[in-house]
Amino acid sequence: MLYLTDAEIADICKPLRQGHAQVRYLRLLGLHVERKYDGRPIVSRANFEALLSGDRDAATAGPNWSVIAP
2 close to 44: Cβ distance less than 8 angstroms: yes
The pLDDT of residue 53: 86
Which residues, including other chains, have CB under 8 Å from residue 57's CB and lie 6 or more apart?
none
Lowest mean pLDDT, pick from 6-10, 11-15, 52-56, 58-62? 58-62
- Per-residue pLDDT reduced to its tens digit, 15-61: 999 999 999 999 999 899 999 999 999 999 999 998 888 866 655 55
Residue 67 is classified by DSSP as T
d(Cα 57, Cα 1) in Å, to the nearest integer? 22
- List CB contacts of 4: < 8 A, sequence separation 6 or more: 12, 42, 43, 44, 45, 48
pLDDT at residue number 66: 55
pLDDT of residue 16: 96
